Amino acid sequence: MRGVFRPTRRDFLKAGALAGGALLSGIGRSRPGAGISAASRPATKGHSSPAPIALLVLGGTGFIGPHLVRLAVSRGHGVTIFSRGRRNPELPDGVERLIGDRNGQLGALEGRRWDAVVDDSATNPDWVKQSAALLLDAVGRYLFTSSTGVYYPYLARGLDESAPPHLEAADPSDGSETYGVSKARCEHTVLDTFADRGVVVRPTYIVGPGDTTDRFPYWPVRFAQGGEILAPGRRDDPVQLIDVRDLAAFMLRLLETGRSGVFNVAGPRSPMTSRTFYRTARRALNRDVTLTFIDDYAFLKAHGIEYSIPWAMLEGNDAGMMSIRNHRAIAAGLAFRPLEDTLRDTLAWWPSVPEERRRDPKFAITPEIEAKALAVWRALRARGA
């Protein structure tokens, strides 16, 4: 089909290569709690690389972790990962692997010291309490990977870091709320324990190569298939997402520059609507597709289409979900690659996913749902309804 982007393995390896970009500095401590070492000071003009960091990653084998580890090694840092050892992603030579469990089995971390730790695997506040207590005098900085879900319910648009996260669940049966509260309590422990040595990043929906969910991959795969595509959402519905590689680079930058505090990590740089997203995907992947925009929320609900990330219905508790402010992170160095690159790289990576998952993906919009909804929509339009 004319105009279809057909990725190759070479495309993915080239596009997915992680490389440092900006002039960054490193952090280091002669001993936790002591004065800032020379490695902690901002890089001076003319330095092309940061001072090496001894980095501990709690996790490191899921979605964010491998990208972060590879980038850290490429920038000259020493990396240790701590995991249960159930996954074995391809990581650079020299990465130290410690085995244990966040649920009390932290023995492998005892008696060790690092310049910084990235907590990339916790949703359980008790896990964070245990690791924070153990590492308080063993690391310089503690960076916790949280979520914009701490703001749920999103009752207003334009939320920024000054909005207090929710520490108590009003409705324990609401999974979105309990998740957000758990993340918020984890944040609270980190910031309360480490004070100005604590760092929290709150990413929105994370996308890109290596995605462990079937949320975002739906769109690159669907556009590559071509034909008529159901594009849900009102004309002005905003969407937000962050490429996992941009998130990893920002996290590392925060540690290299000795930052502290809380940062919303949401892209793109400027607001984007769902229709702009769909048109960008068409331009990047398959110019021959036909987009059928359906903006009727009631119709979409009737056909079981309430989200397909990065689009989601923005009403009720989700009204402000896709309009989180990112200004503080941008000021601290958060950068964004073109959306076209994220779309193409995700499509190029998809063939490496296990065949069983590709054969039966958990896409929010199945071919059956889409075909039925489009047929009914066309019939309604033909009748002038």
pLDDT-derived band of residue 8, with 50, 70 and 90 as boundaries?
very low
Within 8 A by CB and 6+ apart from 266, the residues are: 148, 203, 204, 240, 241, 242, 324, 325, 326, 329
Q: What CA–CA distance (Å, rounded) separates 71 from 76?
A: 9
Token pair recorded at residue 239: 């969407």
Closest CA to 65 of 39, 95, 40: 95
Average pLDDT value for the chain:
89
pLDDT at 224 over 90: yes
Q: What is the mean pLDDT of residues 182-197?
A: 98
pLDDT at 50: 85
pLDDT-derived band of residue 121, with 50, 70 and 90 as boundaries?
confident
Q: What CA–CA distance (Å, rounded) separates 139 from 125?
A: 19
pLDDT-derived band of residue 175, with 50, 70 and 90 as boundaries?
very high
- In Å, what is the CA distance from 333 to each residue of 11, 24, 29, 321, 346? 27, 10, 23, 23, 24
Give the residue carrying structure tokens 């892209």.
267
pLDDT at 3: 54
Q: What is the mean pLDDT of residues 214-224?
A: 98
CATH topology of domain 9-312+320-382: Rossmann fold (3.40.50)
pLDDT at 229 over 50: yes
> Which phi and psi angles does 363 have, rounded to 5°?
-75, 140
Q: What CA–CA distance (Å, rounded) separates 52 from 66?
A: 19
pLDDT at 92 over 60: yes
Contacts of 355-359 with CB under 8 Å at 24 or more apart are 357/214
Within 8 A by CB and 6+ apart from 37, the residues are: 27, 28, 29, 30
Query: pTM of the entire structure?
Result: 0.88
Give the residue carrying structure tokens 């596009």.
15
Cα 95 versus chain centre, distance: 23
Q: Are strands 114-119 and 261-265 parallel, antiparallel or unpaired?
A: unpaired
Q: Are 177 and 153 in contact (CB under 8 A)?
A: yes
Q: Residues 11-50: pLDDT tens digits?
A: 433 433 333 333 233 333 333 333 223 233 333 333 457 8
3 state SS for the chain: CCCECCCCHHHHHHHCCCCCCCCCCCCCECCCCCCECHHHCCCCCCCCCCCCCEEEEECCCCCHHHHHHHHHHHCCCEEEEEECCCCCCCCCCCCEEEECECCCECHHHCCCCEEEEEECCCCCHHHHHHHHHHHCCCEEEEEEECCHHHHCCCCCCCCCCCCCCCCCCCCCCCHHHHHHHHHHHHHHHHHHHHHHHEEEEEECCEECCCCCCCCCCHHHHHHHHCCEEEEECCCCCEEEEEEHHHHHHHHHHHHHCCCCEEEEECEEEEEEEHHHHHHHHHHHHECCCEEEEECCHHHHHHCCCCEECCEECCCHHHCCCCCCCCHHHHHCCCCCCCHHHHHHHHHHHHHHCCHHHHHCCCCCCCHHHHHHHHHHHHHHHHCCC
